[in-house]
Amino acid sequence: MANWAELPPELIGLVLKRLIAHDVYDYLSFRAVCHPWRSVASEKHNYAGVSVCKIPWLMMAEKENSDVRSFYSLSNNKFYNIHLPEARGRRCWGSPDGWLITLGIDREMHLLNPLTHVQIRLPSQTTFGDQYPEKSSFTSEVVREIFIRKAIQLSTPTSTTNGNCIVIAIYSQWGKLAIAKPTDKTWTTLESPFAHYYDVISFKDQVYAIDSYGILRICDITGIQPNVVDFASPIKNYKGCDTLYLVEISGELHLIIRYVFREEDWEDGEPENNSVTLGTCFFEIYKMDICTRQWEELDGSSEHALFLGTNCSFSLSVAEYPELKGNCVYFTDDDVDSWDCEAGRYTGIYNFENKIVEFIDLGLDMHSTFSPPLWITPNLC
């Protein structure tokens, strides 16, 4: 009988390429065969250039007292269970590049690839400005839940010591912006007018941020003291909303507005708790004309699926990925105000054409008080 462990590394590498081109999850099974196979899988050059499916996974909430995290694949409707102790007890933010940004009750922050288990340390949460007073009632658990609203990769690390990878965070009750690289010792706050920021995007060599007033600003992160500069006014007749997102679609910058339907909005019935979010009511979409700096309202996202929530906002073409639904928003529950009632309950798909929400209910693994489901595209980066 052949000894699989004694196969030449070059041949083992070919097997690896064939497997992950079909299903990137097979990378984990491949690593578990034996030590020589695990050694081959640990070398990036053995799978460099292999095109893997870019359809996102929905990372489920943490199971109580478990190091295993479940991921739901939209491409085949399968659940994948990954032993991921590095994410245990940590709040996470997703990305389309295969990386999570994590924050634990130890207040340490990392970039984490859930497939390869590679971790890259970021500056600690304790190095942000605007910390809560030492004698306040904010425990480490509360800080983990609410101090950072959103963390976004502006660039992707290419190695475990990549100092050029930049992460930006929206933090504190004031919704401020701060940036850091893995090689930095502290987070640096951007100078800005008073504004509660909702989203940030790297778009055509510029970094844009949108605030609660609907003002679009450019973030200058190249200087010693990063700051923001006004770029575009809010959409006409803007009266506020629940959340704003920035997303690139077909090379154009778009603004997505999310309105959430709450119990106090009901005309009938007697709500038990007015703070509970019932779900998403609807979305609006606008396209930015960079030349005129004006927003144009659109009917929908055409042949694209948008992925919004506790992750870097991104879009995919359904022509390239027909498994997805076009002219739709795949959203997760990122309404921090309702997280005391277990976030994750309101995750679903919004159709721009008929304005109907199809909620995704995959069981109790949708619920968490600190780290609800999020979108992440698996990648062996």
Neighbour count for residue 230 (Cβ, 10 Å): 11
Query: Is the Cβ–Cβ distance between 229 and 214 less than 8 Å?
Result: no
Residues 20 and 113 in one domain: no
Residues 106 and 47 in one domain: no
Q: How far is CA 81 from CA 113, 132, 158, 365, in A?
A: 15, 36, 26, 12
Neighbour count for residue 192 (Cβ, 10 Å): 19
Query: Is the Cβ–Cβ distance between 268 and 278 less than 8 Å?
Result: no
Residues 227 and 282 in one domain: yes
More confident residue, 8 or 253: 253
Three-state DSSP at 31 gives: helix
**Boundary residue ending a domain (9, 33, 53):** 53
Residues 148 and 289 in one domain: yes
Domain limits at 23? Answer: 1-53
The β-bridge relationship of strands 304-308 and 294-298 is unpaired
pLDDT higher than 60, residue 266: no
Residues 28 and 64 in one domain: no
Quick one: tokens of 365?
Answer: 């693994």
Residues 47 and 107 in one domain: no
Instruction: Give a yes or no: residue 269 inside a domain.
Output: no
Alpha-carbon gap, residue 347 to 357, rounded angstroms:
9
Give DSSP secondary structure letters for 297-311: EES--TTEEEEESSB
Return the biggest CA–CA distance within the chain.
74
The pLDDT confidence band at residue 316, using thresholds 50, 70 and 90, is: very high
Q: Provide the sign of the torsion angle of the four alpha carbons 315, 321, 325, 331, taken in this order.
A: negative
Compute the average pLDDT of residues 202-224.
95
Residues 117 and 31 in one domain: no
Instruction: Give a yes or no: residue 159 inside a domain.
Output: yes
Q: What pLDDT score was predicted for residue 91? A: 94
Instruction: Note the pLDDT tens digit of each residue in 83-135.
Output: 999 999 999 999 999 999 999 999 999 999 999 899 999 999 999 998 887 76
The CATH number assigned to the domain holding 322 equals 2.120.10
Weakest mean pLDDT among 38-47, 160-169, 181-190: 38-47
Q: Report how many domains make up the chain.
A: 2
Query: Is the Cβ–Cβ distance between 379 and 369 less than 8 Å?
Result: no
Residues 203 and 167 in one domain: yes
Instruction: Give a yes or no: residue 181 inside a domain.
Output: yes
More confident residue, 64 or 314: 314
Residues 115 and 167 in one domain: yes
Compute the average pLDDT of residues 208-213.
96
Residues 195 and 327 in one domain: yes
Quick one: tokens of 327?
Answer: 């002219």
pTM here is 0.88
Residue 1 makes CB contacts below 8 A (sequence gap 6+) with none
Q: What pLDDT score was predicted for residue 54? A: 84
Three-state DSSP at 286 gives: strand
**Boundary residue ending a domain (28, 53, 78):** 53
Instruction: Note the pLDDT tens digit of each residue in 228-258.
Output: 999 999 999 888 888 999 999 999 999 999 9
Residues 61 and 89 in one domain: yes
Q: What pLDDT score was predicted for residue 345? A: 67
Average pLDDT, the chain: 86
Alpha-carbon gap, residue 91 to 140, rounded angstroms:
12
**Boundary residue ending a domain (11, 34, 53):** 53
Q: What pLDDT score was predicted for residue 1? A: 43
Weakest mean pLDDT among 149-153, 239-243, 339-343: 339-343
Residues 248 and 221 in one domain: yes
End-to-end CA distance of the chain: 35
